[in-house]
Every structure is written in C-alpha cells, then in structure tokens.
Amino acid sequence: MKFRSLFVVTVLVLIPLILSAQNKQKPKLVVGIIVDQMRYDNLYKYQKHFGKDGFNRLINNGSNFTYAHFNYEPTSTAPGHASVYTGTTPFFHGIIGNYFYDRKLKKSVSNLSGIEGIESPTRLLATTMTDQLKIATSGRAKVISISFKDRGAVLPGGHNPNGAYWYDDKTGDFFTSKYYLDVLPNWVTDFNNKKFSDKYISQEWNLSKPISEYITNVPDESPYEADFFNEGKKSFPHKLNNVKQEEKYYFLENTPFANQLLVDFADAALKGEKLGKGNETDFLAISFSTPDHLGHEFGNFSLETEDMYIKLDAQIAELLNKLDNAVGKGNYLLFLTADHAGMDSPGYMKDNRMPSGELGSKTFVDSLKAFSIRKYGENLIENFSNKQVFLNWEIIENKNLDIRKIEDEFSFYIRSRFTAVTSIFTRGYLETQRPTREALNPLLNGFNPTFSGDIAINLQPGFLNNFCGIGTTHGSSYNYDRHVPLIFYGWNIPKQTINTQVYTVDIAATICNLLNIQEPNACIGIPLISSKTNK
C-alpha cells in the first residue's frame, strides 16, 4: 500500500516536469514585429535616447544581424511583408507592389483586391511561415495578425489565420474583411467600444525631451516637412483639433499615439485569443505602420521622426513586458525587422549638394509614346508603373510584330535619351533567368512573369521617378532602401552580433527551422540560427 502511494506521488510530481520539458521543445508563442520603413541605422542613430527595456533589450540579449538586406526591387510595403513571411521574392510570391497594373482589367489594382474588392491574400501565390505553422499543427495553432495598414495585417497572416485586423481611419476601430469573419470576435468589439482612439486624439503630441537633446540638426520649422496637421506651422507641439472631424482618425495614424494604440490592441489579442496558452505554438504578427507615414510626410531629418522612435522604444518595452506577463520570459520567440528602409530626405540631400534628381515620369512616358508612333505607327505603351513599361500585347499581336525586337529597340531608345536610367532589363531576358537568394540582380528578383511589365528600369542613386522635396520615400534597389534591422530574441536564441551578409528571405527559413516545421513552399532563404545547436 505504501509502495502504491509512493508511486502515485512520484507520478504526480513527474508529470508536470515531463510536460515542462516538452514545452521547452518549442516556444509557446512566436511574435513577428515589422516596423514599416525602419532603416537599420535608426537603431544606432537614436540609441542614446533608448532605455534598457526596448530596442536595447533586443540588441543586447538577442541575435543581431547587422547586415540584413532585401534582395529585390521594388522595396515597398506589400512586397516587403510578403517576402519576410514567405521567405521568397516577388518572382515567386507575386506581390510586385502595393498597387500594380493588371493587364486583364486594364487598370491599377491593389495587391489585396480579391473577389468583389474584399481584402484578402488571394493574390499571394506562396505560403507563409504562418501558413506552415497552421499546416504543421493541423490547424490547432492560432495565428493573429494586426496592423494599421491592411497589407501589414493581411500578408503576414497568410491564407487561413484565425484573424487579421487593421485600422479603420473612418471610425478609429480595428476591423477585418468577410474573407476572414462575418462578425468580429467579442474581444475586438470590446476593445473598439473602449474608444482608445478618441483618448489619444484629444492629446497633444509634444517632444519627449528638451529640443537641445535631439540629434536632428534642422529647424523644427523645416522646409523638408509638410504642414501635415493643418496648423499653419510645422513645429511642435502638434494638435489634432485643427483637422476636420471626419478626418481625425486618419490623422491619428500619423502620430506616435497610433503605435501605442497598436500595442494596446496586441495586448487585447494576447488576452482575447489566449495566445500561448494551448499545447501548440501560436503566432502573433504585428506591423507598426506609423513610421512609414511619418517618413513620407516629415522625412528622416525631422524632430517628428526622431521623437516617434523615442516613443516607439518605450512602446516596444511595454509590449515586451506584456509578453513576459502573458507567456513568460523565455517562452516566446520574437523577430524584429522592417518591410523596407528609406532614402535620405531628397530635399535635404539636394540642398546639401548630394547626388539627387528625377526621371520625370510624364516626360519619360510621352517620349516613349512619341517614339513608338514614329517607329511603329502605333502607340504601343499601355502603362508605366513601378518603373516598368507595359507594352500593348494586343496591338503587337494584331500587327504581327516581334515583341522581343520591340523590347530591345525601346531599351536602346531609353538608354540613348535618359541619363537618369542606369540599367534596363527586358522581359525576354528576365524570363530566361532564375532568381537567387543573393541580390545579384534585384530587378530580376522583383520581376514576376505573370504580373510584371515588359521593360524594367533602374535609376541613378538618389534619383526618383518624380522629385519630392518634402518628406522621403523608398522603392529602389539601393542600400538605403534595402538595409533593415534584423534581430531574433527569446526562446532558443543566443546572444550574438553577426556582421555577415544575410537577407530578409532568411527570416521565414530561420523561424521554421527553430520550430522544426516545413519552410514556406517557395522559400529561398536559409536558416540563420540552428534549432539543433541552441537547445
């Protein structure tokens, strides 16, 4: 009897230990953080402002890959999110831009436009790491994806998440599309009913520190910024009470308060979905959109951008603390990166005699059309977008013209007339090549045989299709648009700084390798951290 009692007690003691050991075999939660338009150097440019619990916690306690790049052009939001989560390039996943020309519809379309315009991932042609987690667990793992931008939520969530939610700038609420749900879950409705957005709209945006402590060395009333909030000035403090009532929620997403609102929503998702509480590894994808909005309006030589990063550091610290409390330190696996970087503010660069300039889109297209009429008796230019020329296949076929010869003749014409163009690639050439993990030809990696144009061009460093003196932008194959932060942190991640060349397509391969699941079906990345050497 005593032996039986002792056996029962021993079993009761061992079961929790066995379960605990099993849980150590995998993280309770994966957290993917994308900071829209975050340049790699922002981690260090603003580091003197950061506390120990935000970005510095990740840098000092994680695996920091300091030379991570996107390997394709165009470097924009939708391709960036798609490439991080699929581990491949637009050549395979099909997301060639935020918007792109659809030959069948004869118009520009959103990368998310599905049936009847409902936002969905149906144009995403490859699986994501979140898809693979769902497949590996027979659907038991929960996947939640949140962002202010629709594309920042839809693409990371993959094809069958438990939820993808983004911000409605008409109401200040988070919502979804009927592709995912007909009715919002109670936790989302409860969050929206609290109207945190109204609370933040009522606040002033003030500098976090005395202005003398900021790195930015341009006037607060800067010529490189817009009077975005319609205040009759560009300097701090910023108030939202001058904007139209029906536009207030739109303007909110262009302030650091939007990042805070997303952290609040992430906390609600953790609790509402009980993420990390089940027997499978769950996934929470978070994309901070505001840095991109501020970059476009104020540029990277602005107090607004610098102050936003100061506040974002504290918000990242708050998010990490919430994760610690929800699933426990060491029980979640996290990565932080960006969907693209951004060029130095063109207006600032020009005024400081740095290389800059423009192609002039209208002049370029008008010139090509005139050449086409002279050469072929017809206008063969159907569209020019994302630095790609779309030829009119219907006319070319009807006139029985040689399309490869036409591509070459247009290329020669462009080369002889437009000094802003540095390289030209034709469809005839690109279709004979194979994309690579390395950035040997970013235009090839960004080309998709089904959706791309017939002639792709690259511009000189610092040049744009059309010059913008206010704010900044992105989209090129140059390092200022491709070099982004990449940090892995938490479960099974060693402390290390790696300075060798890696690519953002490696993120999905790394996460899947750590989870011991199949990588996405078109993944061309490689694992950067081995699950077998860090247990």
Provide the annotated active-site residues: 77
Task: Return d(Cα 150, Cα 174) in angstroms, integer.
Answer: 10
The per-residue b/e assignment along 304-314, b for 16 or more CB within 10 angstroms, e otherwise, is bbbbbbbbbbb
- Tally DSSP H helices, then E strands, for the chain: 21, 20
Task: Return d(Cα 244, Cα 228) in angstroms, integer.
Answer: 13
344: how many CB neighbours lie within 10 A of its CB?
Answer: 17
* Secondary structure (3-state) at 389: strand
Task: Return d(Cα 450, Cα 205) in angstroms, integer.
Answer: 45
Of residues 383, 372, 362, 454, the one with CA closest to residue 413: 372
| Helix 129-136 and helix 77-86, axial crossing angle in degrees, nearest 10 | 30
Task: Return d(Cα 310, Cα 206) in angstroms, integer.
Answer: 12
295: how many CB neighbours lie within 10 A of its CB?
Answer: 26
Structure tokens at 204: 């002033």
Residue 366 contacts residue 108 (beta carbons within 8 Å)? no
Distances (CA, A) of 416 to 185, 320, 424, 439: 59, 55, 12, 27
The CA-based angle 387-391-397, given to 5 degrees, is 165
Query: 385 has which bridge partners?
Result: 388
Q: How do 163-168 and 173-175 pair as beta strands?
A: antiparallel
Name residue, tokens 């599309």: 177
Q: Which helix (H) or strand (E) holds 390?
A: strand 388-391
